[in-house]
Amino acid sequence: MTAINNESQYKAMMQRIDELLIIVDDNTPENDVNSVELVLLSNLVADYDNKYYPVGKPTLQDILKLRMYEMKLTQKNIAELLGVSPSRVSEYITGKNEPTLKVARQICVKLSVDATIVLGL
């Protein structure tokens, strides 16, 4: 098989991958039949996923919400970290406003956010 053509094939391959993951581990030789099958099926599933379930780039809004959750921070806490008002943080989270270069640097450093996300690249 060179490609997955429909959802039922996709589900069947996902089930087979689950079965193979129980059998294949780091000590399994690369030329083992199960290991080879796992690699082939994984590649087919990855291709199908990329085509039908693409994952978009995260936005600054998404990342700020995620960091708030992960770090257990409120908008007020983030505002204090960044040196801006809570209402300004609210504008960043809702996408109504973009951070200045100075604030963008602080987001990168204080919240460990990749610059490409902050700059929308």
Per-residue pLDDT reduced to its tens digit, 102-113 = 999 999 999 999
**Mean pLDDT score of the chain:** 94
Q: Predicted confidence band at 24 (pLDDT cuts at 50, 70, 90)? A: very high
Confidence (pLDDT) at 2? 85
Per-residue pLDDT reduced to its tens digit, 72-99 = 999 999 999 999 999 999 999 999 999 9
- What is d(CA 34, CA 17) in angstroms, rounded to the nearest whole number? 10
Give the end-to-end CA distance of the chain in Å, rounded to a whole number. 37
Cα 8 from chain centroid?
Answer: 25
Residue-range domains of the chain with CATH:
7-52 (no CATH), 60-118 (1.10.260.40)
- pTM for the full predicted model: 0.62
Q: Predicted confidence band at 40 (pLDDT cuts at 50, 70, 90)? A: very high
- pLDDT of 14 strictly over 90: yes
Distances (CA, A) of 98 to 18, 51, 83, 118: 43, 31, 15, 9
Contact 87, 54 (CB under 8 A): no
Closest to 91 measured CA to CA, from 83, 101, 100, 99: 99
Contact 20, 34 (CB under 8 A): yes
- pLDDT of 50 strictly over 80: yes
